[in-house]
Structure formats: structure tokens, C-alpha cells
Amino acid sequence: MNPTIYWSQNVDQVFLTIDVNDPKGTEIQFNESSMTFDAYTSTKNNDLVNYNFTLDLHESTTHENNVYEMIDHKLQFWLMKKIPGIWPKLIKSDEVPSWLIEDAEKSRQKNSKKSGKTGDKNKPLNFDEKLHREFLEKRNVHEDYPQMYDNLHKQEMGYRKEDLKKVYLVIYNLCQLVAFLYVLVIMTIRYSREGPESMKETYSSVGSIMKFVQILQFLEVMHPMFGYTKGNAFIALLQTSGRAFILFCMIECEPRMQTKPVVFYVFYVWALVEIFRYPYYITQVLNVDIPLLTWLRYTVWIPLYPLGFLFEGIIVLRNIPYFDETNKFTVALPNSWNFAFHFPTFMRLYLLILCIPGMYTMMSHMNKTRAIKIGKKDKRKESDKKLS
């Protein structure tokens, strides 16, 4: 596509203004009697538009004195005539294209403001001193316009090449969603058929998949550390390690706890939280906004988090006499390391020091996040109402 070019002249110079806003990937070439231009820009719909032209000038210019500069987002040129004089026209051809317009006001008004500046600092770039920086760097269109490049790739090839990080995050969150949805469905079906009696078999029916997804959740601690997500690694570690302690240390290691109804309740609460969290994460990775899903993600935790902490606390509390009886994880003196560790005492400290502060930290974090995510939408709605 040919851009609109405004030009004018005096005895010594030719002034050009290329009417393209913020051109990217620009390549400019000058010979004594010709000029070549090539650049890309984007539309409001993020479509990639290529602009190019070649001008065979009416007469020769002094290449080493030609200068250009970006003024008000448009490229403007000063071409120094090799032989002073007024040209009858800009190009050699007798047919003047419609996109080449002689307009002294548009081509020289802003240039004249620049010409009044003094000092080397404000001096336009000289082609001999410094060729166009984008031409030397050979700008990568894919890097300049990643979204538009992907759209063009999809139109031509029938599919869009996704970033490996995005593909990984979608697959991870989708796998976790399917797993927790499976747990929730199995527990619900068993309860609808067998009633409260099904609670005793909760761990034997879905315990294996819960252990698997819980191990996978430790990846969520590393995601923000490696820049895959923007979350807080400490909050992820606090939640993941807390659940892992309950699942592997409190339930897996004590068979008598596995048949308690509280295991059913804690699994059900965990699954309810996750079946809203992981779909929301998928939409965020894909840049899709679903207001209802956002509201559910940052609202269902209000009743479910306290219930989860309550059930986890009950599991720890009821396990204290069991571990006191079996001495599992307890290290007694004398031993070669001269070290003692009483696990039931650690469980009491966990309830006192870790559980309550951990609950406060998690809920404070979620409350702040909810205010940011949902508060922004409420403000937008209010502003839209005022405008309407």
C-alpha cells in the first residue's frame, strides 16, 4: 500500500512528510535520484499493514546531507538538492500518483519549527552519520507485532502458533480441573447412592488421585519463581504445603483417620475451591474475560476457606492421640544424633502457631485480591452508568 506523501520545496531543499503514524520495521534507502521506503503499522483491529513506495526524483540530491526525523509520530525528510533551483515536479514521471500531494503547509509547517532549534542535540539525523536505526537492526516483525503476526499465521496456515509457556499452563490447569472435577463427581455419586456410609470409603476411592494432584500443585510454587505466572510464590507455598501436610502426614500415615467423615468434608471443600480456580486460570492465560467466573473465583472462597481450615484443624486435633500412641515421626533419646523430636507436640504447635496465622494470611490475601479484581469491574460499571 502506498502512503500519502505531502511535499514542498524551496531553492535548496525538498520537504517530505509521510502520513503514516508510528511506522515500525522501517527501511529507507537513498540514491542520488531515487528514494525507497518500506514500513509496517497497525490498525485499530490489530491488523498488520505494509506501506512502501519508490520515488524516482526529478533531479539529483546530495545524499550525505539528506536528513530525517520523527515529528508528531510521522517521518519527515529534508532532501538537499544537488543543484539549487525550483523543480517543476517531484518525480520524473509525467503521471503524478494520487497519493503524492504538493502541500507546503503540511510538509513544511512542522519542519520549520524544527529548523529553528539550535545545537547538535536537536539536529535531525544525517544519513551519512547515522542511517535509520531500524534499517540497521533489521527489525523483527514477529517481535514488533506478536499478536498481528499470530493472526496472519492463523489466516494463512489455518492454526496459530502458541507460546510453549501458554500451552503448558493451559494443559496443567486443564488437567487439575479434570482431576478435581472427577473427585467431586465420584464423591457426590457415592454419597447420593450410599448416604453417609460412603464417607468411610472416601479415601480408598479418591485418595490416590488426590495425592497425585497434590504433588502436581507444588509446580504452582515454581510458576511465579520462573516467571510463568504473576502470583505470589509464598502464598502458593503456604497453601500447597499446608494441604500436603494434612494429606500425606495426617491422613496417609494414619489408617484410622482415613475412614473418618472429616476426610470426606475436607476433600469436598478442596475440590469445590479448585473447580472454580483452575477454569479462571485457563481464561486468564487465553485472555478471555468471563465476569461470572471471575466473581465465583473470588467469592466462593469466603465460606469455603474457613470450612477448609476448620476441617484441617479437626484432622490434626483428632490425630494427636493416635500419633502419641504410635510414636510415628517421633525421635526419642538416646540416639546417635543426641536429638529429640516429639511429633504430637509439633502438631499442637502447628494448630496454635501455623494454622491460625496461616488462615489469616490466606484470607487477607484473597480479600485484597478480590477487592482488586471485582472492585475494578464495579468501578467500570459505575462509570458506564454515569456516561450513559
The alpha carbons of the chain give a radius of gyration, in whole angstroms, of: 34
Query: How, if at all, do strands 100-102 and 5-9 pair?
Result: parallel
Residues serving a catalytic function are 305, 312
258 touches 322 (CB < 8 A) = no
Distance CA 144, CA 135 (A): 14
Beta-carbon count within 10 A of 170 CB: 15
Distance CA 32, CA 16 (A): 16
74 touches 8 (CB < 8 A) = no
Distance CA 255, CA 386 (A): 61
Distance CA 153, CA 21 (A): 24
- Cα–Cα distance list, 139 to 27, 73, 129, 134, 348 (Å): 9, 18, 20, 6, 62
At 36, the amino acid letter reads: T
313 touches 348 (CB < 8 A) = no
CA-nearest of 87, 85, 75, 11 to 38 is 75
Helix spans in the chain (H): 104-115, 133-137, 141-144, 146-157, 164-194, 202-216, 219-225, 233-244, 255-258, 261-285, 291-297, 301-326, 343-349, 356-387
Distance CA 206, CA 204 (A): 6
Half-sphere exposure of 203 (CA within 13 A, CB side): 19
Cell 471485582, residue located: 374
Sign of the torsion angle spanned by Cα atoms 242, 248, 251, 253: negative
